[in-house]
């Protein structure tokens, strides 16, 4: 019965993909809320966000929520990202996951995007009015994941999206869903599917869209206030399909091979691979490469990322012999132009 239920969930996800997917490069740049595609977590960023199949814990709420259930008990995660170093854009994130019962997990995540201070300009003062402003971008997600017979995990996440300035704002909701399947003598083969950022269109509104003009009939001289309506925009939805395989060298060494395909509804598709080396699950080295299909070195509209990523991580027990651990991870993704994106994360697993 459980297997049939799980199979039904997987089939429903695939049906939703086939029924709603219509992405192509011609739609590139037509979506909004692109911060939904950014990854604030260092462990997966070091593998270029290719970990759809093997991601676990609080990071799963960004890439494949099904992996959230594969934790021991409780996990707290803090992340900071210098996005495209030199652009003064930074990401801050916090995630919390708590085991619920034997096979379930509940999670909350919050991410904010800091764009720095932007010079305010106007038609009359195109060089600047002397004032600055800073947009506020926040995401709040609530998720639940469940594991069936320790082989198949499914998860769903609801995310609220808020974008605002002093006199403009937009709010929307997005849905993420995912599946992970593990098998093998040591659960060393993993397969994952995730569908991300499915939601209704968003639209900006507020006093910033109001303008004052004179009376149109010209008989009397007085001003009227007109409210303009902004165009709505879609969310940058995507489909991820990934696999990973663990190779063990005795009790101390593990090498994980990772492959991933991403279908973007508003940009070109991505294909990539990565590798992670772990020593006693205390020291980690990571590297990855992601290729944007349909581009070459001469393409002027290719992604800012050059394809390469790397990362390193450490985990230490909170006390000798304890399964409770403190971890720190760093991830780097090369970009052109700018000086790359740098992620750092702190994790407590208890």
Q: Mean pLDDT, to the nearest integer, of 131-136? A: 89
- List the CATH code of the domain at 2-349: 2.40.160.40
End-to-end CA distance of the chain: give it in Å, rounded.
33
Backbone angles phi, psi at 321, to 5 degrees: 80, 0
- Lowest average pLDDT, out of 71-75, 124-128, 210-214, goes to 210-214
Question: Domain-by-domain residue ranges, the chain?
Answer: 2-349
- The pLDDT value recorded for residue 21 is 47
- Written as one string, the DSSP assignment of 181-227 is EEESTTS-EEEEEEEEEEE--B--BSGGGEEEEE-TT-SS--EEEEE
**What are the C-alpha distances in Å from 78 to residues 138, 155, 196, 317?**
15, 21, 22, 18
Q: Give the pLDDT score at 1.
A: 47
DSSP state, 302? S
* Residue 8 phi, psi dihedral angles, 5° rounding: -65, -40
Q: Phi, psi at residue 323, to the nearest 5°?
A: -85, -10
Backbone φ and ψ of 17, nearest 5°: -65, -50
pTM over 0.85? The answer is yes
Q: Which residues pair with residue 156 across a beta bridge?
A: 144, 177
Is pLDDT above 90 for 98?
yes
Q: Peptide bond preceding 337: is omega within 30 degrees of 0, i.e. cis? A: yes
288-317 residue pLDDT tens: 999 998 887 676 777 888 889 999 999 999
Burial class (CB in 10 A: 0-12, 13-18, 19+), 80: middle
CA 308 to chain centre: 18
What would the two tokens of residue 88 be?
Answer: 């003064």
CA distances from 92 to 86, 120, 341 (A): 17, 24, 13
pLDDT at 208: 84
Cβ neighbours, 10 Å, residue 122: 10
Mean pLDDT of the chain: 89
């Amino acid at each position: 019965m459980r297997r049939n239920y799980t199979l039904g969930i997987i089939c429903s996800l695939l049906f939703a993909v086939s029924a709603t997917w219509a992405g192509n490069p011609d739609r590139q740049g037509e979506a909004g809320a692109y911060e939904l595609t950014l990854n604030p977590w260092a462990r997966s960023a070091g593998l270029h966000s290719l970990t759809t199949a093997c991601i676990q814990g609080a990071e799963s709420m960004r890439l494949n929520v099904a992996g959230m259930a594969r934790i021991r008990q409780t996990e707290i995660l803090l992340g900071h990202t210098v996005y495209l170093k030199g652009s003064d854009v930074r990401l801050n994130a916090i995630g919390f996951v708590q085991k619920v019962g034997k096979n379930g997990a509940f999670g909350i995540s919050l991410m904010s995007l800091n764009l720095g201070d932007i010079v305010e300009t106007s038609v009359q003062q195109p060089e600047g009015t002397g004032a600055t402003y800073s947009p506020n971008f926040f995401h709040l997600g609530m998720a639940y994941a469940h594991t069936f017979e320790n082989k198949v995990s499914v998860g769903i996440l609801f995310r609220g999206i808020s974008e605002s300035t002093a006199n403009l704002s937009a709010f929307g909701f997005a849905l993420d869903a995912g599946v992970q399947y593990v098998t093998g003598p040591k659960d060393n083969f993993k397969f994952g599917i995730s569908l991300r950022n499915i939601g209704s269109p968003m639209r900006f509104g507020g006093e910033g869209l109001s303008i004052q003009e004179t009376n149109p009939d010209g008989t009397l001289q007085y001003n009227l206030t007109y409210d303009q309506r902004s165009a709505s925009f879609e969310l940058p939805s995507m489909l991820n399909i990934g696999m990973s395989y663990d190779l063990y060298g005795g009790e101390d060494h593990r090498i994980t091979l990772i492959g991933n395909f991403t279908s973007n509804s508003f940009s070109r598709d991505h294909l990539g691979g990565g590798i992670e080396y772990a020593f006693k699950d205390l020291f980690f080295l990571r590297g990855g490469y992601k290729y944007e299909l349909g581009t070459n070195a001469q393409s002027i509209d290719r992604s800012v990322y050059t394809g390469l990523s790397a990362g390193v991580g450490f985990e230490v027990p909170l006390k000798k012999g304890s399964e409770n651990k403190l971890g720190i991870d760093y991830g780097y993704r090369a970009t052109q132009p700018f000086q790359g994106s740098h992620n750092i994360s702190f994790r407590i697993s208890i």
